[in-house]
């Protein structure tokens, strides 16, 4: 691959080959989600702690400072809303020249395996990979499950979905953490990134599932609500960064979170 591709990949994966993406794309189908009403504010607050923002072009142009040090993963699927009957009826929303114009390091696109729109969304993935590869732009496929998160959060289904996305040309696949996550990673020839889901009941819970996912071969995370809906987003982002890039245990990361939450001095090493 060319220099442009390698440059983008080096922003998506740090030298340890791990990654920490902050998902802020929720508005593309949900509107102003709680905690993410002002994306400009959230992005400024957290840009020192994460490696990339996952956002739409509208938010990028209107709310993200072009001087941000953070890589951009552009959300390039859409066409539905939270009040749609079927959340899976998505298509490719953005052209490759628009992605180049916005200088994104990658694009993110949802594939809905096992739904009425499986074929449509898979064909969209093929098209996107065909269009983005000549420009040196990697595609991150999202194994989307719509409203059926609980039923579909299991390794056999998600492993199949990840493998299909990788075989279709995705360079990174994002999927949910579940039991036997190592089997998903073992069957997927490209890096697997853990998706978040709704905010967990306790702070330690998210640190534990991210730690377990990393132990089982995940390359990193793409998390949203568990960070910016937390009472202390900087504490949570620091703790997650420490697990992903600094080999902290959940207990050590939780102590770091509490120390920041309780307004002790932030630990410098957990910051970029």
Q: Does 236 bind ligand 5RP (CB under 6 A)?
A: no
Per-residue binding letters, 182-201, with ligand 5RP (x by CB under 6 A): -------------xxx----
Among 224, 233, 235, 250, binds ligand 5RP (CB under 6 A): 224
Q: State in angstroms the smallest separation of the CB of 56 from ligand 5RP.
A: 10
Q: Provide the minimum distance between the beta carbon of 28 and ligand 5RP in the complex, in angstroms, as a whole number.
A: 8
Question: Measured between alpha carbons, how far is 39 from 101 in angstroms, rounded to an integer?
Answer: 21
Query: Which residue among 115, 222, 230, 238 contacts ligand 5RP (CB under 6 A)?
Result: 222
Q: Quick check: is 174 catalytic?
A: yes
Measured from the CB atom, is 154 or 255 closer to ligand 5RP?
A: 154
Cβ closest to ligand 5RP, residue 13 vs residue 29: 29
Please tell me whether residue 166 binds ligand 5RP under the rule CB under 6 A.
no
Choosing from 41, 44, 153, 174, the catalytic residue is 174
Minimum distance of ligand 5RP from residue 77's CB (angstroms):
9
Residue ranges that bind ligand 5RP, judged by CB under 6 A: 23, 25, 54, 110, 142, 144, 195-197, 222-226
What amino acid positions are annotated as catalytic residues?
174
């Amino acid at each position: 691959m060319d220099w442009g591709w390698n440059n983008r990949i080096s922003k998506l994966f740090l030298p340890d080959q791990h990654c920490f993406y902050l998902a802020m794309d929720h508005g593309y189908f949900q509107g102003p989600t709680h905690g993410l009403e002002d994306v400009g504010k959230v992005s400024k607050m957290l840009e020192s702690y994460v490696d990339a923002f996952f956002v739409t072009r509208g938010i990028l142009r209107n709310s993200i400072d072009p001087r941000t040090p953070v890589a951009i993963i552009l959300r390039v699927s859409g066409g539905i809303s939270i009040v749609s009957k079927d959340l899976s009826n998505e298509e490719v929303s953005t052209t490759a020249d628009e992605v180049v114009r916005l200088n994104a390091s990658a694009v993110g696109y949802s594939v809905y395996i096992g739904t009425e729109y499986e074929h449509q969304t898979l064909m969209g993935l093929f098209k996107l990979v065909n269009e983005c590869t000549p420009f040196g732009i990697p595609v991150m496929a999202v194994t989307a499950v719509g409203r059926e998160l609980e039923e579909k959060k299991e390794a056999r289904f998600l492993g199949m979905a990840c493998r299909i996305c990788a075989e279709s040309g995705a360079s990174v696949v994002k999927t949910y953490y579940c039991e036997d996550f190592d089997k998903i990673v073992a069957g997927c020839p490209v890096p697997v990134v853990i998706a978040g889901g709704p905010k967990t009941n306790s702070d330690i819970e998210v640190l534990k599932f991210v730690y377990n996912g990393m132990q089982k071969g995940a390359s990193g995370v793409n998390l949203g609500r568990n960070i910016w809906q937390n009472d202390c987003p900087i504490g949570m982002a620091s703790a997650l960064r420490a697990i992903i890039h600094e080999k902290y245990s959940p207990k050590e990361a939780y102590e770091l979170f509490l120390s920041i939450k309780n307004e002790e001095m932030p630990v410098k090493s957990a910051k970029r």
